[in-house]
Structure 1
Amino acid sequence: MKTLIALSGSLRRDSANTALLRAAVALAPPGARVVLYDGTHMLPFFNPDIEADPPPAVHELRALLSAADGVIVASPEYAHGVPGAFKNMLDWLVGCAELSSKPVALINTSARAVHAQASLAEILTTMGWRVIAAASPVIAVANRGFDQAHIAADPALAGALLGAIGALVQASVEVGPP
Structure 2
Amino acid sequence: MTSRSVSLYALCGSQRHASSSRRLLEALQSACPGDVTIVICDVIGDLPVFNPDHEGGKTPPLVETFAAEIRKADGLIVSCPEYAHGIPGGFKNALDWLVSRDEVPFKPLMFAHASHRGDLVLAQLTDVLQTMSLQIVQDAFLRLPIAGKSDEAQAQMLLEARESGLLSASLGRFARAIAAST
TM value normalised by structure 1: 0.92
Q: Where in structure 2 are the equivalents of 1:23-42 lying within 5 Å?
A: 23-42=27-46
Shift of 1:146: 4.1
Indicate whether 1:70 and 2:38 are aligned: no
What is the CA deviation profile of residues 134-168 of structure 1, one whole-angstrom value per residue up to 9, with x for unaligned ones? 11132111111347854542147863322221121
* AA matched with 1:140: P
Aligned-partner residue type, residue 15 of structure 1:
S
1:65 and 1:31 map into 2 onto residues whose CA distance is 19
Q: Distance in 2 between matches of 1:75 and 1:133?
A: 16
Q: 1:120, 1:145 → 2: CA distance? A: 27
Identify the match of residue 145 of structure 1 among 145, 150, 162.
150
Equivalent residues in 2 for 1:92-107 (5 A)? 92-107=97-112
Residue 15 of structure 1 is aligned with which of 13, 19, 27?
19
**Cα root mean square deviation, aligned:** 1.8
Contact 2:24-2:112 at 8 Å conserved across structures: no
Residues 59-117 of structure 1, C-alpha deviations (whole Å, 9 max, x = no match): 01111001100001000001100000000000011112232110000122112111001
Amino acid at match of 1:167: R
Choose 1 or 2 for highest CA Rg.
2
CA shift in 2, pair 1:161/1:155, >3 Å: closer
Instruction: Return the offset for 1:26.
Output: 1.0
- Structure 2: distance between partners of 1:103 and 1:145: 32
Once the two structures are superposed, the pairs formed by residues 148-163 of structure 1 within 5 Å of their partners are 150-155=156-161, 159-163=165-169
| SS in structure 2 of the partner of residue 106 of structure 1 | strand
With normalisation by structure 2, the TM-score equals 0.90
Work out the CA distance in 1 between the residues paired with 2:164 and 2:99.
32
Q: Runs in 1 of length 4+ with deviation above 6 angstroms?
A: none
- Asked if 2 retains the 8 angstrom alpha-carbon contact of 1:17 and 1:74, the reply is yes
Q: In 2, are the aligned partners of 1:16 and 1:146 still within 8 Å (CA)?
A: no
Distance 2:164 2:81 in 1: 19
Residue 173 of structure 2 corresponds to residue 167 of structure 1: yes
Q: Which runs of 5+ in 1 are unaligned?
A: none
Report if aligned partners of 1:105, 1:135 keep a CA contact under 8 Å in 2: yes
Q: Residues of 2 paired with 1:7 and 1:103: CA distance?
A: 13
